[in-house]
């Protein structure tokens, strides 16, 4: 993966052109589900849950997470050829997959476009 910096505070902006945007949204939910799970320790605490991490690497967006027990990892790579519009920059951020976002992702249909936009809130 190349190193660099985001320009104008934007890590990436684009719209998926995949024939099945509902598959991409389901995959994002699966990555988030791994982050919210503990697979081998019964002493699960909500405070152990970590957000998935999204990395823009110039040619792809990568969403990945580890389970709260660190025993399971999930990764989704969205290549630049699957995105239409915007430039994939460079940077890493956590993504809070909260209830409203989960609901929105769960309701993406095949005939809809899925917009993906990551902003670096610390940049102007």
The pLDDT value recorded for residue 61 is 87
pLDDT averaged per 10 residues in sequence order, the chain, 124 residues: 40 59 88 83 63 87 86 88 76 86 89 75 55
N-term to C-term CA, the chain: 25
pLDDT at 119: 65
The matching CATH number, chosen from 1.10.287, 1.10.3470, 3.30.70, 3.10.150, for 16-118 is: 3.10.150
What is the structure's pLDDT at 79? 86
pTM: 0.72
Strand partners, 117: 13
User: Which pLDDT score is estimated for 29?
Assistant: 92
> Looking at the DSSP assignment, which residues form a beta bridge with residue 118?
12
| Phi-psi label, residue 86: left if phi above 0, alpha if psi -120 to 50, beta otherwise | left
Domain ranges of the chain: 16-118
């Amino acid at each position: 993966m190349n190193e660099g910096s985001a320009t104008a505070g934007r890590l990436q902006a684009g719209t998926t052109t995949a024939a099945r945007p509902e598959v991409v949204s389901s995959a994002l939910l699966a990555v988030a589900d791994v982050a919210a799970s503990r697979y081998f320790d019964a002493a699960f605490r909500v405070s152990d849950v970590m957000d998935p991490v999204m990395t823009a690497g110039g040619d792809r967006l990568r969403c990945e997470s580890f389970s709260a027990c660190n025993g399971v990892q999930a990764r989704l790579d969205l290549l630049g050829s699957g995105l239409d519009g915007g430039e994939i920059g460079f940077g890493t951020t956590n993504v809070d997959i909260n209830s409203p976002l989960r609901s929105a992702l769960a309701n993406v249909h095949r005939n809809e476009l899925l917009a993906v936009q990551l902003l670096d809130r610390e940049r102007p």
